[in-house]
Structure formats: C-alpha cells, structure tokens
Structure 1
Amino acid sequence: MAELRHCPSCGDFFNYTGVREVCGKCGMNEERVYEEVYRFLRKRENRAATIERIVEMTEATESMLHKWVRKGRLQPAMFPNLGYPCDNCGKLTTKGKLCDTCTAEIKSELKTFEAATEFREAIQQKDQATYLSERKR
C-alpha cells in the first residue's frame, strides 16, 4: 500500500511504495546522473577518481555518491576511492555502518567492559561466600 510523502529533493508530494525515496521526476533525474557518473568512472583514467573529483566533473552530489555506494550500485572494489561516511567518525568506509577503526575501538571497549563485569561478579561471589561461611558458625 502506498503512502503520501514529501520528496526530499524537490518537496513535491508522491506515492511512496517502498521502491524509491524520491518522486518519479527526481528519480529519473537521479538515474540520468547515475548513468553520467558511471560513464565517467568506466574510463580507465577516472577509475581512481575521488568523490570530490566526481562531483566536480559530473552533476552528482556527495550524498548521491554515498547512497549509491551504500546500496551497492557503485562498487568500491572497482572504484577504490569511493565510500560513504562512518556513522561514528565520518571517515569513508565501504562496508557496514562503521569504519574499521571505530569497529576495533568498540570491540576493545566491549572487551574491557566484559572483563570489568566478570571481575565485579567474582568479587560479589567472594563476598557472598565469606558472608555465608561466617553465618554458619
């Protein structure tokens, strides 16, 4: 079932069916820009182009490029300087929501937290054992 939404690009109303986030007119414009970007990147000399260079040479915006990489329409394996911002620090990444640095940092903090929790539980168990052994006497 479709719902009525505002197009984030032009502000017009459109029936959102879950396929496109924008109205039909803006969707066709995005497809035209995508084709332009893809033609630009297919040239051997442009395959290593940065996001800034692609924006400069085509009509694409950074947010469009990030969206296309996130959805898998532009493959970072083929175009190594493409990516989208990490949700935590903003550094470009090509998979998931977090870059490798932020992922490693969160894993490290989680290990520290788990170790502290285990230590706290061990102390509580020791205190309970001591309390119970004194009580039995």
Structure 2
Amino acid sequence: MGELANCSRCGTVFVKTARDICPSCYKEEEQAFQVVYRFLRKRENREATMNEIIKATGVEEALIIKFVKTGRLRTSEFPKLAYPCERCGVAIVRGRFCASCIEQLKNDLKHHESHKQSDSAANKPEAVYYSFDYE
C-alpha cells in the first residue's frame, strides 16, 4: 500500500506509489513529453539542441533533462540532445558528470584515502609498557 507524500512539483498531498509526483502533475508531464516527442520525431528536428527544443515547444529544460535521464528520450536517436554536467556544466548525454569530472573525483578520492591512511598510521599510539615492583 502507498504512503502519503507531498508532490515534489506542486506540494499537493497524494498517495505515493511508484512516482514522486501527484497524478495531475504526472498528466502534465506526459502531455509535455508528447509535445517534445512529436517535435523531435519530425526529420528536420531530430538534430535540435536543447535550447531549440525549449524555444519550439515551451517545455522547461529541467523536464526535458528528466526525460533524457530516465531514458524516455534517447540520445542515440537525437544526437544533439545533451544536458549539463552537474559539476562543471559541460554538455553530456548520459550520467550525472562528464568524463573529466569523474576522473577528477576518482583522483580526489584516491588522494583522500591515501591521506587518511597515512594520518591513521602517523597518529597510531605508541605502545606503553608498565613495570611493577614486587617487594
């Protein structure tokens, strides 16, 4: 059974099942998807960029990006349909980060792990020995 939740778009209380938006917002998203998809299906629009799609359809960029990220609009079918990397803003066609940001994040993690290991080895307490006098 679903639980009560607030719609992430409009804030209305609804019974949450598989989606995080209410049924009316879902219908609006579906209508927006149909507008974008009909626009892109035309041969002359298949190579449209994100800005051209927004200008022609009036659908907001965040919603088009959501369609791409969820796989509803495939970049293999629409080659110029790209969205910005969440870190640096470079245009990408899949994932959240571009290749250079992923590489930099990996290097930062490696550096952090090696620094963490060297700190833990340096801060290791010295062994303390006690002697007792039994007289």
TM-score grouping bracket, smaller chain normalisation: 0.7 to 0.9
> What is the alpha-carbon distance in structure 2 between the residues aligned to residue 60 and residue 20 of structure 1?
20
Which stretch of structure 1 is more off in the superposition, 7-16 or 49-58?
7-16
- 1:53-77 CA-partner distances (Å, limit 9, x unpaired): 1111113111111111111110111
> What is the alpha-carbon distance in structure 1 between the residues aligned to residue 73 and residue 24 of structure 2?
22
User: Which residue matches 2:76?
Assistant: 77
Which stretch of structure 1 is more off in the superposition, 43-52 or 90-99?
90-99
> What is the alpha-carbon distance in structure 2 between the residues aligned to residue 93 and residue 106 of structure 1?
17
Following superposition, the deviation at residue 108 of structure 1 comes to 4.2
Following superposition, the deviation at residue 107 of structure 1 comes to 3.6
- TM-score between the two structures when normalised by the length of structure 1: 0.73
The residue type equivalent to 2:13 in the other structure is F
> What is the alpha-carbon distance in structure 1 between the residues aligned to residue 89 and residue 60 of structure 2?
17
> What is the alpha-carbon distance in structure 2 between the residues aligned to residue 59 and residue 35 of structure 1?
12
Matched, 1:12 2:20: no
User: Which residue matches 1:89?
Assistant: 88
Following superposition, the deviation at residue 92 of structure 1 comes to 2.6
**Mapping of residues 11-50 of structure 1, within 5 Å:** 11-17=11-17, 19-50=18-49
> What is the alpha-carbon distance in structure 1 between the residues aligned to residue 116 and residue 10 of structure 2?
51
**Structure 1 spans left out of the alignment, 5+ residues:** 125-137
CA-based RMSD: 2.5
**Structure 2 spans left out of the alignment, 5+ residues:** 123-135
- 1:58-101 CA-partner distances (Å, limit 9, x unpaired): 13111111111111110111112223332222323222221112
- Runs of 4 or more, structure 1, over 6 Å off, are 113-118
Which stretch of structure 1 is more off in the superposition, 64-73 or 90-99?
90-99
Which structure: greater helix fraction?
Answer: 1
User: Which residue matches 1:135?
Assistant: none
In the alignment of these two chains, the number of paired residues is: 121
Which stretch of structure 1 is more off in the superposition, 76-85 or 19-28?
76-85
User: Which residue matches 2:62?
Assistant: 63
Following superposition, the deviation at residue 111 of structure 1 comes to 5.8
Over 3 Å counting, the alpha-carbon distance change for 1:110 and 1:9 in structure 2 is closer
Over 3 Å counting, the alpha-carbon distance change for 1:104 and 1:8 in structure 2 is same
